[in-house]
Amino acid sequence: MHYGSDRSDMLPFNPFKAIIAPRPIGWIGTLNADGVANLAPYSFFNGVGSGPDMVMFASEGAKHSYINARDTGEFTFSLVTADLVDAMNISSENVPDGISEFDLAGLEKGEPVVIRAPFVAASPAAMECVTIDAFQIKDRHGVLLDRYVVIGEVVRTHIKDEFLQDGIFDTSAATPVARLGYREYSKITESWTLRRPDDPVGSST
């Protein structure tokens, strides 16, 4: 089958997110204008380059995380893992500005080193990011949408030592949770190594 804007006649729910899956969940920490900590999950999230390391998240509507990251110029990303998934879900509730989802979800704040926005202390890995760009996107006709993208440069990375094996981050041991479509999730518990044809002989990464 194939479809365009007639999709709703053919499929009851849009499979877009189920096809673009698995997606990492960017658990975004920010401060509002009054300095109150905000936390919310964004699965339209990814890295966009390394060296300098850059991440992005996208907001469907001008939500608090977008506004705070734009106005304060900073945000954090914390990795969502299997043991943190219930807290992540609690933090997704649409609550008024000024109510901290860190408190709602019973999460301790990790102390940032370079910026002021906190991260999730219990997460195996977190990144402090400086906002490089925060913009509204257009459709193919040039019409502005109620959709927003934030790009941040990573200025500090926090990793719990127990997830480092000989200097390598053990992703499977951290058990990251990924977002699929509908209300589905998945988790990473195993991985393998696949060398590229032009990798130098004996290289391990």
Ligand X SMILES: Cc1cc2nc3c(=O)[nH]c(=O)nc-3n(C[C@H](O)[C@H](O)[C@H](O)COP(=O)(O)O)c2cc1C
Cis peptide before 22 (omega within 30 of 0): yes
Backbone φ and ψ of 19, nearest 5°: -85, -40
Fill in the DSSP letter of residue 163: G
Q: How far is the CB of 46 from ligand X (least distance, A)?
A: 10
**Torsion of the alpha carbons at 7, 12, 14 and 15, rounded to the nearest 10:** -110
Q: Quick check: 81 binds ligand X (CB under 6 A)?
A: no
Q: 131 and 70 in contact (C-beta within 8 Å)? A: yes
Q: How far is the CB of 85 from ligand X (least distance, A)?
A: 9
Q: Quick check: 115 binds ligand X (CB under 6 A)?
A: no
Closer to ligand X by Cβ: residue 184 or 199:
184
81: which 2 tokens?
């893992």
Q: Where are the alpha helices (DSSP H) in the chain?
A: 7-10, 16-19, 64-72, 85-90, 101-104, 171-174
Q: Collapsing DSSP states into helix, strand and coil, what is residue 148?
A: strand
Q: Could you identify the residue written with the tokens 């990375």?
A: 157
Indicate which single residue of 15, 21, 36, 44 sits in contact with ligand X (rule: CB under 6 A): 44
Size of the site for ligand X (CB under 6 A): 18
Q: Quick check: 205 binds ligand X (CB under 6 A)?
A: no
Indicate which single residue of 63, 109, 160, 187 sits in contact with ligand X (rule: CB under 6 A): 63
Q: Which residues of 57-80 are buried (b: 16+ CB within 10 A; e: fewer)?
A: bbbeeebbbbbbbbebbbbbbbbb
Residues numbered 171 to 190 that lie near ligand X (CB under 6 A) are 179
Residues numbered 5 to 34 that lie near ligand X (CB under 6 A) are 25
Q: How far is the CB of 162 from ligand X (least distance, A)?
A: 25
Q: Quick check: 43 binds ligand X (CB under 6 A)?
A: yes
Q: How far is the CB of 59 from ligand X (least distance, A)?
A: 4
Stretch that binds ligand X, among 89-97, 116-124, 131-139, 189-197 (CB under 6 A): 89-97
Q: Quick check: 72 binds ligand X (CB under 6 A)?
A: no
Closer to ligand X by Cβ: residue 90 or 132:
90
The contact set with ligand X (CB under 6 A) reads 25, 38, 40-44, 58-60, 63-65, 89, 92-94, 179
